[in-house]
């Protein structure tokens, strides 16, 4: 049941949202200069069965490789990704609703609605929602890398395959595939640090 909840959440709540292909095709002049574009509001993003959902809002290619953005939601008492570090990617989180706790190195920062938190590359980090009752919604902005492509491959290919194969979240097969995907995007994930954090903060 745990495995199914963990993996089925990756397909729930419209992970990628509307893929903005028309905007992506029109956002650059033939000369390569940027054009304005508009991203309309989407339906309320709801947590999936394992308490998490994300969708792409701005694609890397829409900004000539400078920036991309996803929207995310965490259900109450829900852990985000395992602690990890990026070789090149810098991240800026804007919390829209609720409170997100962010671990950067050894410091935990409470980011309330309206607050922003910047995570430069090279520093291990993760985040979670400690609230027992309220979801946390946020925008995560990515600089210098097409991380939305990584997330789409993870959530629409790798994790559905893992569910089909019957791999548990901690299985060697899934970890090996995750590590191979992470290596392509300059990410090192510390899988074994996730469970202790969940126990420490009472997360699921």
pLDDT in tens, 64-84: 999 999 999 999 999 999 999
Q: Answer whether residue 153 shows pLDDT above 60.
A: yes
How far is the C-alpha of 201 from the C-alpha of 102, rounded, in Å? 12
pLDDT in tens, 88-147: 999 999 999 999 999 999 999 999 999 999 999 999 999 999 999 999 999 999 998 999
Q: Are 132 and 98 in contact (CB under 8 A)?
A: no
Q: Would you say the C-alpha torsion 90, 147, 191, 87 has a positive or negative sign?
A: negative
How far is the C-alpha of 104 from the C-alpha of 168, rounded, in Å? 27
Strands 67-74 and 84-86: unpaired
What is the band of 32 on the pLDDT scale with cuts at 50, 70, 90? low
Q: Are 102 and 109 in contact (CB under 8 A)?
A: yes
Domain architecture of the chain: domains with CATH: 45-148+193-201 (2.60.120.10)
pLDDT number for residue 100: 98
């Amino acid at each position: 049941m745990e495995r199914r909840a963990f993996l089925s959440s990756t397909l729930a709540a419209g992970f990628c949202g509307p893929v903005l292909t028309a905007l992506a095709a029109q956002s650059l002049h033939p000369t390569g200069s940027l054009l304005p574009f508009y991203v309309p509001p989407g339906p309320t993003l709801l947590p999936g069965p394992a308490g998490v959902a994300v969708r792409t809002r701005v694609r890397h290619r829409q900004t000539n490789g400078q920036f991309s953005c996803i929207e995310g939601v965490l259900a109450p008492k829900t852990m985000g990704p395992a602690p990890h570090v990026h070789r090149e990617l810098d991240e800026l989180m804007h919390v829209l609703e609720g409170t997100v706790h962010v671990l950067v190195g050894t410091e935990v920062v409470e980011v309330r609605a309206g607050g922003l938190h910047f995570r430069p590359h090279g520093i291990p980090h993760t985040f979670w929602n400690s609230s027992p009752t309220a979801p946390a919604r946020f925008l995560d902005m990515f600089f210098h890398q097409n991380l939305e492509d990584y997330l789409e491959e993870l959530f629409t290919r790798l994790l559905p395959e893992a569910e089909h194969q019957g791999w548990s979240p901690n299985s060697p097969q899934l970890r090996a595939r995750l590590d191979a995907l992470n290596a392509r995007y300059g990410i090192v994930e510390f899988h074994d640090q996730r469970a202790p954090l969940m126990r420490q903060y009472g997360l699921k």
